A and B are shown apart, each in its own frame.
Chain A
């Protein structure tokens, strides 16, 4: 060797012995990395997803006058807009119960919508990190889901207030809102991964999204209820194929009517959520090797 050879110290030998962490990189089988290690890595680095979401929320809030207060003002304004739209402009009779229904499902819809829009941009926004470091990329859309969850949390205050004001019945059935929301969250995570991948391949995805999301809102039982539809021209079976239909019906039944929905409704909601999570997750993970050369 040349004379510039650095001498190896005893301490280096020691370190080499200590560096027990051995990483082996091998070709992915059917396009997927070893899943066990993937999830283990994801769990070990969950604080990264939390920190990313926290930092991004901080950055968004520093640009506004109201800062964190926006998180509460936003749902209130949303409530006012839809009160105006549905209660006054459409001329339909908006009973207090219906208004309560409108609000709780609207907030749930915005949670899903935030998962989709946040998830869509998550990978492209994290491109520099993706190109420079190896980590389970699914942490990026998961971070977007956490952000959506943090934005959803303050709406619960408004939800609670309206439930008290409207005197909705409370009971065991009300508690079913929790599993219903959890199912919706699993669905949102699947959507975040699906749209996160699509955005890498089609950078205009996020430009289509607002329209897509808006149409989805009108097709979901938010500004109308399942009962409203009975006997109407639009009461088509296709309406029920919407994944958000069983999710919002079970959520509304629980929160507003203290009622446990029919088992098929729960089965449909869970089925959609699992399909979205597994489908979106497999699509994302099978494509993530390509992210570092596509960004």
Chain B
């Protein structure tokens, strides 16, 4: 563990010099001493009724979660960063913090360029509205102009292969259609930084292949990517850099193969096929 932590900062700098990039000029994401604390409730559905009941009993259901503590790292444009860690390690929180959805409690995050997100917690869509309307709303919320969304619309719709469904309310969509559209929107927003959280399994085998090709294409254009996946094989294959989180702390940073191995060793599950596929 200590060994790995020592590698932090050392290896990446080395690598970027080999690639001949001026590090300070090319920073994509810089995370400094990041703490994320949030308060959340145990209740499934918080209601006024249950709040009154609790007040009578003097109970509290709000708990404070220290999701990330003292996390620092920096990546340059072109990096495909894999994030590994157990469930609840803080991977998704880190992604949401970088996307600006959950701002830091302490520390600082700097993001250079446009961010696009494809997060696991559901796609930014309203089921009562059509696919077209949802694409427009997502784009406008991301800060694009109406014209910019219109320019991309056809490509997004074609890539998602929804046919006439694009004009139908999204409650009529199958889960595959949902994730295809979400993937298509995220990759076609021309992001400088693309954040993908557990969402690479979009659609059927055919679409998966197409999605993988699109990812390759984006990597070829050296877009910066942050990739969270429990499929460790994907991390090893696609990323050129990785970090390992454990209980909200940064355990190591470096080569994806080494990070995955270190993480597996930590879990003591070994490098068996199941873990590589899905853990």
Contacts and interface: CB of A to CB of B under 8 A. Distances in A.
The answer to whether A and B interact is yes
- Interface majority SS (helix, strand, loop, mixed), chain A: helix
B237 interface: yes
In this complex, the member of A58, A129, A135 whose beta carbon has the largest number of chain B beta carbons within 10 angstroms is A129
8 A-B pairs closest in CB distance = A12-B222, A19-B113, A134-B100, A48-B140, A16-B77, A132-B124, A202-B48, A129-B124
Contacts of A130: 101
B15 A48 contact: no
Given A8-B78, A12-B78, A1 B143 contact: no
Interface residues of A, number: 57
A9 interface: yes
Given A8-B21, A9-B221, A134-B101, A129 B111 contact: no
A289 B97 CA distance: 11
A128 B103 CA distance: 17
Interface of B: 11, 15, 18-19, 21, 25-26, 28, 38-41, 45-49, 51, 76-78, 80, 96-115, 117, 119, 121-126, 128-129, 133, 136-138, 140-143, 145-146, 169, 192, 219-223, 236-241, 255-257
Contacts of B257: 2
Contacts of A131: 96, 101, 119, 121-122, 124
B137 A1 contact: no
A204 interface: yes
A292 B143 CA distance: 19
Contacts of A28: 103
A22 B192 CA distance: 11
Interface in A189-207: 201-205
Interface string A4-23: 11111101110111010111
Contacts, number: 202
A126 B124 CA distance: 8
B138 A129 contact: yes
B109 A25 contact: yes
Given A11-B222, A202-B51, A205-B48, A16 B141 contact: no
26 contacts: A1-B15, A1-B18, A2-B240, A2-B256, A4-B236, A12-B77, A15-B192, A21-B113, A22-B110, A24-B109, A24-B110, A25-B104, A28-B103, A47-B145, A55-B136, A55-B137, A56-B129, A59-B169, A125-B126, A128-B123, A132-B123, A133-B141, A134-B101, A135-B143, A205-B48, A208-B48
Contacts of A227: none
Contact of B106 (A27, A41, A135): A27
A27 B51 CA distance: 29
